[in-house]
Amino acid sequence: MQDDLFGICPYVTAQKLLTGKWTLLILHHLSVKIMRFNELQRALPELTQATLTKQLRMMEENGLITRTVYNQIPPKVEYGLSELGIQFQPVLDALEVWGSQYINFLKEKIQEGINK
């Protein structure tokens, strides 16, 4: 049923576009600067080469990132946010604020547990 709502319901559409464990982190890194494949791999060392390739292809197909191939030897390929990806920046910023608030919440819970 959810696939029927893709392109109709904004929540289902966003959820489908952001699937993948690494999508948000890749978007975050590319929001800071244009990166090459190896740079992304170094920034996300737990991510396998195959998974990074799959995620980048999916994100490019979905219009979130751009892939620029330079005609040179050795080959050079750079990834960056597309216009649609750039429009996602306020969402990334909001997620960072919310995530920081949640981290503080967790710290308070731990502190409460220590003080009991």
pLDDT, tens digit, 9 for 90 and up, residues 28-59: 999 999 999 999 999 999 999 999 999 999 99
Q: How many CA atoms lie within 13 A of 2 on its CB side?
A: 8
Q: Does the CA dihedral 2-88-23-104 come out positive or negative?
A: negative
Going from N- to C-terminal start, the domains of the chain cover 2-115
- In degrees, to the nearest 5, what angle opens at C-alpha 84 toward C-alphas 82 and 85? 60
Instruction: Please tell me the pTM assigned to this model.
Output: 0.86
CB within 8 Å of 29: residues ≥ 6 apart: 35, 40, 43, 44
- In degrees, to the nearest 5, what angle opens at C-alpha 48 toward C-alphas 59 and 72? 65
Q: What is the pLDDT of residue 4?
A: 81
Q: What is the pLDDT of residue 69?
A: 94
| Average pLDDT of span 57-79 | 94
pLDDT tens digits for 105-115?
999 888 877 77
Q: Is the pLDDT of residue 20 over 80?
A: yes
Q: What is the pLDDT of residue 114?
A: 79
What fold, for 2-115? Answer: Arc Repressor Mutant, subunit A (1.10.10)
